[in-house]
């Protein structure tokens, strides 16, 4: 991505101004709170599904973990593309170009649809894919049933992400939160009805959980379209205006920015997916413990992920105003905020490590004691990676605000796979640490990634680089 150098000496004076830091922190928190709460709402739906399915036994929990391998690898590809809506729309908003804001959303919706159709079909073969990867056939078949209901949720979920990105880019992220909060109880009730067969319906088990998620995502998408089309202040952007029009120049720009984002997501989540596969080699107990510990990590990670979205918007808006000092300040304020939050979460994980697994496994579940003990160990090991994971997420969001995605993709490849995977495999099997070794390994990889991303953001903003103007 071509970068335009301005203010070569760097924006040092504003960064040292306490008033500027306070103002930026206030604005970042104002954006980040509803964004993070929306992300927590999204993960809450997955968490409640896992809690309900956990009542069916740890074999079902293991099947859900395997299904999420296929789902997330597909989901991250489209999520990376629609994530490019946020910096493009935020830069256009900062530059006061409302038509470009609308165009950014439109190409994001088209990209989600075009990419989503083949990936949805691919998930129909999830059981075959997992069996080919060496997983237990019975568990893989159970995962396939879950995916048959869940796969159809991808495109409406991506649309909703694009719509939320548009809302956040114009400094009004709250409607996305209200829609998500309404969806949580709807998902809980619908999932319980379909999983257990309440009110005379046949029990559908894992298939019911997947169908419930799909139906709720369709409802959220419809609500998001209506809000952005009919409600102020979004109505003035006429988001569906000339929706059929092909906008190839901006579509290419979206792919130039979004494909590396998708690659970064795929590399990171691919590492966790391979971790789940290696856990499956160790045993069902290890796989179930890994899924529960990772679900807790996913819940707390949603807050820095929301802060990262706010960082993308704040950095992008400053870049649109051609304000290099503002881009640096916005990024480092967000990074500090994300790190501070994750430090508090480490204390929660350490003190509650023996209680947290109980939310996902009934005490009478077979092998529950062994699974709970291993989950507690993983949470203790993972307390170090929680902090660096939060830092890397927020920093990556700040870099997205500068349209800087290609170099971070290379950094991700080295950090997650050359370092993280090698360490995970080596510590788990040759070193004999098994499940704990896998978590130690990707902690090392994520730490390297976080350090290099912070250095990258520092280097770019110290020189006062800005992305090309939107258009």
Q: What is the pLDDT of residue 114?
A: 93
Question: Tokens 């257990």, residue?
Answer: 196
Query: What is d(CA 36, CA 258) in angstroms, rounded to the nearest whole number?
Result: 21
pLDDT, mean of residues 254-282: 89
| 221 contacts 156 by C-beta, under 8 angstroms | yes
The sign of the CA dihedral 327, 330, 336, 341 is negative
7 class by beta-carbon count within 10 Å (0-12 exposed, 13-18 middle, 19+ buried): middle
CB 423 within 8 A of CB 252: no
The more confidently predicted of residues 385 and 395 is: 395
* CA–CA distance, 171 with 90 (Å, rounded to integer): 9
- pLDDT tens digits for range 37-82: 988 888 788 778 877 887 887 788 788 878 887 888 788 889 999 9
Question: Does 5 score more than 60 pLDDT?
Answer: no
Task: Look at residue 428 and tell me whether its pLDDT is greater than 90.
Answer: yes
Give me 234's structure tokens.
């979004």
How far is the C-alpha of 242 from the C-alpha of 216, rounded, in Å?
Answer: 28
Q: Assess whether pLDDT exceeds 70 at residue 202.
A: yes
Give the C-alpha separation, 191 to 203, whole Å.
11
pLDDT at 366: 52
pLDDT at 3 over 50: no
- So what's the pLDDT on residue 195? 92
| pLDDT bucket at 448, cuts 50 / 70 / 90 | very high
Q: What count of other Cβ atoms lies within 10 Å of the Cβ of residue 244? A: 7
Q: Tell me what pLDDT residue 265 has.
A: 87
pLDDT digits (tens, 9 = 90+) for 147-181: 999 989 999 999 999 999 999 999 999 999 999 99
Residue 469 has pLDDT above 70, yes or no: no
Which residues contact residue 17 at a Cβ distance below 8 angstroms, ignoring those fewer than 6 apart? none
Phi, psi for 53 (deg, rounded to 5): -70, -30
Q: What percent of the chain has pLDDT over 70?
A: 94
Per-residue pLDDT band at 358 (split at 50, 70, 90): confident
Asked whether the beta carbons of 421 and 441 are under 8 A apart, the reply is yes
| Cα within 13 Å of Cα(163), Cβ side | 29
pLDDT computed for residue 166 by the predictor: 96
Whether residue 6 is predicted with pLDDT greater than 60 in this model: the reply is: no
Retrieve residue 471's tokens: 């258009």
Quick one: pLDDT at residue 9? 37
pLDDT of amino acid 12: 43
- Scanning the structure block, which residue is given the tokens 């950094």? 411
> How much of the chain exceeds pLDDT 90, in percent?
59
Tell me if 394 sits within 8 A of 311, measured CB to CB. yes
Separation of alpha carbons 293 and 291, rounded Å: 6
pLDDT per residue over 8-32, tens digit each?
333 443 445 788 889 999 999 999 9
Q: Which residues contact 367 (CB under 8 A, 6 or more apart)?
A: 58, 285
Average pLDDT over residues 369-380: 90
Please state the φ and ψ torsions of residue 161, each to the nearest 5 degrees.
-65, -45
- Classify residue 432 as exposed, middle or buried by CB count within 10 Å of its CB (0-12, 13-18, 19+): exposed
| pLDDT value for 16 | 58
**Taking residues 124-128, what's their average pLDDT?**
89
Residue 367 is predicted with a pLDDT of: 58
Q: How confident is the model at residue 314 (pLDDT cuts 50, 70, 90)?
A: very high
| 356 vs 225, residue with greater confidence | 225
Structure confidence at residue 184 (pLDDT): 92
- Please give the pLDDT value at position 330: 96
Name the average pLDDT for the chain.
88
Say what the pLDDT of residue 213 is: 92
């Amino acid at each position: 991505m071509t970068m335009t150098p301005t203010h070569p000496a760097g924006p040092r004076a504003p960064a040292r101004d306490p008033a500027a830091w306070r103002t930026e922190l206030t604005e970042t928190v104002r954006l980040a709170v509803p964004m993070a709460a929306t992300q927590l709402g999204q993960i809450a739906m997955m968490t409640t599904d896992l809690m309900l399915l956990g009542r069916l036994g740890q074999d079902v929990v293991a099947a859900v973990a395997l299904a999420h391998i296929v789902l997330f690898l597909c989901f991250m590809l489209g999520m990376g593309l629609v994530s490019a809506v946020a910096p493009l729309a935020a830069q256009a908003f900062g530059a006061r170009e409302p038509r470009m804001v609308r165009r950014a959303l439109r190409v994001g919706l088209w990209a989600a649809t075009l990419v989503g159709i083949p990936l949805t079909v691919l998930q129909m073969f999830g059981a075959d894919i997992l069996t080919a990867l060496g997983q237990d056939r019975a568990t893989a078949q159970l995962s396939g049933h879950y995916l048959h209901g869940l796969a159809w949720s991808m495109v409406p979920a991506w649309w909703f992400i694009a719509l939320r990105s548009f809302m956040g880019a114009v400094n009004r992220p709250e409607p996305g939160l209200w829609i998500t909060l309404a969806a949580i109880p709807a998902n809980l009730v619908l999932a319980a009805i379909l999983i257990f067969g309440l009110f005379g319906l046949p029990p559908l088990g894992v298939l019911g959980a997947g169908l419930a998620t799909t139906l709720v995502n369709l409802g959220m998408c419809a609500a998001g379209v209506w809000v952005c089309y009919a409600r102020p202040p979004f109505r003035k952007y006429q988001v569906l205006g000339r929706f059929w029009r092909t906008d190839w120049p901006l579509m290419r720009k979206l792919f130039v920015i979004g494909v590396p984002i998708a690659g970064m997501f795929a590399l990171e989540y691919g590492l966790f997916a391979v971790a789940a596969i290696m856990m499956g080699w160790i045993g069902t107990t290890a796989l179930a413990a890994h899924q529960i510990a990772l679900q807790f990590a996913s819940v707390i990670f949603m807050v820095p992920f929301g802060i990262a979205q706010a960082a993308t918007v704040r950095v992008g808006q400053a870049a649109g105003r051609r304000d290099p000092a503002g881009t640096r300040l916005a990024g480092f304020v967000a990074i500090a905020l994300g790190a501070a939050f994750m430090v508090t979460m480490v204390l929660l994980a350490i003190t509650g490590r023996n209680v947290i697994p109980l939310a996902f496994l009934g005490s009478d579940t077979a092998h529950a004691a062994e699974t709970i003990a291993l989950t507690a160990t993983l949470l203790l090991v993972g307390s170090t990676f929680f902090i660096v994971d939060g830092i890397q997420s927020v920093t990556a969001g700040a870099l997205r605000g500068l349209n800087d995605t290609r170099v971070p993709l290379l950094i991700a490849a080295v950090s997650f796979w050359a370092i993280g995977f090698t360490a995970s495999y080596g510590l788990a099997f040759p070193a004999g640490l098994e499940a704990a070794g896998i978590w130690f390994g990707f902690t090392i990889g994520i730490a390297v990634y976080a350090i290099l991303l912070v250095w990258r953001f520092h280097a770019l903003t110290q020189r006062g680089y800005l992305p090309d103007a939107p258009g």
